A and B are shown apart, each in its own frame.
Chain A
């Protein structure tokens, strides 16, 4: 009965959020920040809200009453959410829903949320690998693979048939012949492999805030791609005026200084791909984040490498330029020209000025379904 009424309002709301209508409301939209924390898998799910302005107190200023353990000075919540409302009985940061959730579930939600297309792995040739699953049973094997239930069932069967089973005192002791063991059964599974390269500019001009943006965005990209491929390998390259491959941890925490030569990173990327990956079997992704402040005379070389070497090899190459309203690098402008001239459909570009832009950026990158 109420359905069609709410559908109309819901549709209207979706259009406002998408920015199709009533653009003056755009500034009140909060998407909720997408926070991914590996380990405990605590993730906040973005639920867009439009806040109608009213005269009000800010929760930061008024504080509130809570309940539970803790000394004075104990931290009870982070203040990163600006939209806390101060009403009694309302939680901190009610606009953001935080929940324990598995990575697979998260990827599905992300896909739904951003309306991401599922990825078509490239090439007709898919790798088939033999995988073993322990679903068979046999009479011999190591104790560590003993099938407890089946063993006792055999023992019980033996006792009942020999008439030694006493329901009043149901003691069952398996002997050697009763023992059953799990056995591996080979199975052919189709598999497609993917390797993701994360490239980041760590030159002096990249601030910690910018790296935080890269970290969050890379987490979500990783989450999505992992949901699409069985075997996935992530590799990390950092560069300033020179490039090197690093561990995941170093990728996020290294702080270098000095100038920027993007070509060095592209060169290294290309070399690793050529040397280590058979392109008929691997899906290759490249995500490059930089503030775009490249050395002027390096631009031509970077673009040559990208268009001649990299783009023909990869499923998708994405360049995300992080910055703020004051600094804006030139590099993305050069790439835009390429995009326009060559109609490279596996190149995606986006400008990420703040955390708010991550949402749209991911959609740009992964919305191609490649």
Chain B
């Protein structure tokens, strides 16, 4: 449903205000939805429809229940698209709607300007609809259960992508064969002992000897020929290009491609969760409350607040709910907002650079104010070029960490509870970076696509101090086996006192199949 006349007028006012601060976004279209529709849309991750799959229904159940029992409600959804679409809950009161619109413009600006979003498809709304149509056609042809089960399998592999791939220059997907005859280079041959007398040739270089030597060389060459040449992190792509049976079952390859493409679309949102929410929260507070004359960017001219006086309490309550923290949870809205404000303040006061960094007098650091007024400019720059990892890496300071009371928690096995284990700045930063890098997912590469010359798939987990969750290893391997069709290996490490104990897990060997535990043939 379109906005009401009143809301449309507010949209204009808020949009104008957002632009006057320098926010820059695609055309933004708001729609009012009743809660059922909003929950449905949220279950599809912001889209009006996705391909048929039960997990969207699961999401929906969870959201609907949470709403029905009064645990939480979704106020808004925005999708990264051109034009940007945003949905509002129709039963919200006016002050909530205004706040949410201001928040949405923050997101819309971030989507358009943050570099990590620059490679995303801005026509994803159409793309998702196409994907839906395509998969529905497969369902009509091959049956609901068959297609759904294969999607389940693909979703197990969804995180096996290279999150930086969009910036490594996209390769065109090629469907090469397992052993590609075209790439065969000049064949190496046996070096003969030189002789200019042809009658000596059979004696100097006997034919059977040459033959045996040639065989040896061939063998060696094959061993040297790595497949893939370098460890491949985009395992989904590797499967699409190389999984033998996907060549005969075109539709499965296509499903895998769709799942992969959608996974890549959502990557930047996971990469910038803290920044994106922080940025949007920063702007909803600014736009809603106006700003005072001391703000160097207002040049003595205060902007009018969007809020009416009578709405202050409601706004404050809603806002504090958004940025509320609880010990076991890191609230990205809170962390992002505070960090943006901290950066703005530091750059306003000149709290950066060599001189400041080297100053170790607490008093002087505290009082430091060079009145540079570069804060606003700086945060706009930050929102352009950073993602959560570099954001935390560059701007999380000792003082900030103290002020925000950040801590590291660990699981205590003896007691079976999570406890605060550390408040040290370096430890907090390291832990945060670990959980953000690669979106908190393990780094796994295809090491060999023709392991032991038997066409088996060999993966390696690059150990970074933590082992994989054992409960999921075998089932994930099974999903790979279903696509690859041959046994799949993974080399990983288990966390232990020293560096980590090596561990290799295999799935799909004949014994497994015979034992009846794993009688799945790739379907």
| A residues neighboring B (CB under 8 Å) | 1-3, 5-6, 8-14, 16, 21-22, 25, 45, 47-50, 52-80, 86-92, 97, 99, 101, 105, 109
Contacts and interface: CB of A to CB of B under 8 A. Distances in A.
Given A6-B40, A101-B69, A66 B411 contact: no
A70 B411 contact: no
B133 interface: no
Contacts of B466: 57, 61-62
A64 B330 contact: yes
Contacts of B160: 55
Interface stretch (B173-181, B216-224, B365-373, B413-421): B413-421
Interface stretch (B116-124, B242-250, B280-288, B468-476): B468-476
Contacts of A3: 36-37, 40
Interface in B138-189: 145, 148-149, 152, 155-160
Contact of A14 (B44, B57, B423, B475): B57
Which among A61, A87, A99 has the highest number of chain B CB atoms within 10 Å? A61
Contact of B417 (A21, A67, A79): A79
B334 interface: yes
B421 A45 contact: no
B435 A10 contact: no
Given A11-B57, A12-B148, A65-B432, 5 more contacts: A48-B58, A66-B330, A72-B419, A73-B419, A77-B417
A56 B418 contact: no
Contacts of B495: 61
B441 A89 contact: no
Interface in B470-523: 470-473, 475-476, 479, 490, 495
B362 interface: no
B444 interface: yes
B372 to A, nearest CB: 29
A26 B263 CA distance: 25
Nearest to A78: B417
Nearest to B144: A12
Interface string B447-468: 0000000000000010000111
Contacts of B422: 72
B104 interface: no
Contact of A2 (B37, B156, B335, B444): B37
B435 A79 contact: no
A117 B473 CA distance: 42
Interface string B52-82: 1111111011100110011100000000000
Contacts of B55: 9, 13, 50, 52
Contacts of B152: 25, 52
Given A56-B441, A61-B466, A67-B335, A47 B62 contact: yes
B442 interface: yes
B60 A63 contact: no
B473 A55 contact: yes
Given A8-B52, A89-B331, A91-B326, A53 B476 contact: yes
B408 A64 contact: yes
B41 interface: yes
B434 interface: yes
A3 to B, nearest CB: 6
Given A47-B65, A70-B407, A56 B442 contact: yes
Contacts, number: 248
A57 B407 contact: no
B95 interface: no
A61 B159 contact: no
A22 B147 CA distance: 13
Nearest to B325: A67
B330 A12 contact: no
B62 A49 contact: yes
Interface of B: 36-37, 39-41, 43-44, 48-50, 52-58, 60-62, 65-66, 69-71, 145, 148-149, 152, 155-160, 273-274, 325-332, 334-335, 388, 404-413, 415-423, 428, 431-432, 434-436, 439-442, 444, 461, 466-473, 475-476, 479, 490, 495
B409 A65 contact: yes
B327 A68 contact: yes
Nearest to A89: B332
A273 B88 CA distance: 59
Nearest to B424: A72
26 contacts: A3-B37, A3-B40, A6-B40, A6-B44, A9-B53, A12-B52, A16-B54, A22-B145, A45-B71, A47-B61, A50-B58, A52-B155, A53-B156, A54-B476, A55-B461, A55-B472, A57-B466, A63-B408, A63-B411, A67-B331, A67-B335, A73-B420, A74-B327, A78-B418, A79-B412, A87-B435
A54 B236 CA distance: 13
A21 B54 CA distance: 12
A9 B404 contact: no
Nearest to A12: B54
Contacts of B62: 47, 49
The interface centre, meaning the residue of A25, A89, A97 with most chain B CB atoms within 10 A of its CB, is A89
B37 A56 contact: no
Contact of A74 (B43, B50, B420, B442): B420
A9 B49 CA distance: 11
Nearest to A106: B69
A71 B420 CA distance: 7
A1 B273 contact: no
Given A45-B69, A52-B55, A63 B330 contact: no
Contacts of B404: 67
B56 A65 contact: no
Given A63-B411, A67-B331, A86-B440, A14 B61 contact: yes
B490 to A, nearest CB: 8
Contacts of A75: 415, 417-419
A68 to B, nearest CB: 4
A6 B56 contact: yes
Contact of A89 (B50, B326, B330, B416): B330
A88 B406 CA distance: 14
A63 B431 contact: yes
Nearest to A95: B62
B40 A2 contact: yes
Contacts of A88: 273-274, 330, 332, 388, 432, 435-436, 440
A273 to B, nearest CB: 38
A46 to B, nearest CB: 9
Contacts of A73: 419-421
A73 B149 CA distance: 45
A76 B406 CA distance: 13
B69 A87 contact: no
Contacts of B44: 2, 5-6
Nearest to A60: B411
B66 A63 contact: no
A50 B412 CA distance: 27
A67 B156 CA distance: 32
Contacts of A97: 66, 69, 71
B405 A67 contact: yes
A10 to B, nearest CB: 4
A13 B160 CA distance: 25
Nearest to A109: B69
Contact of A10 (B41, B57, B327, B439): B57
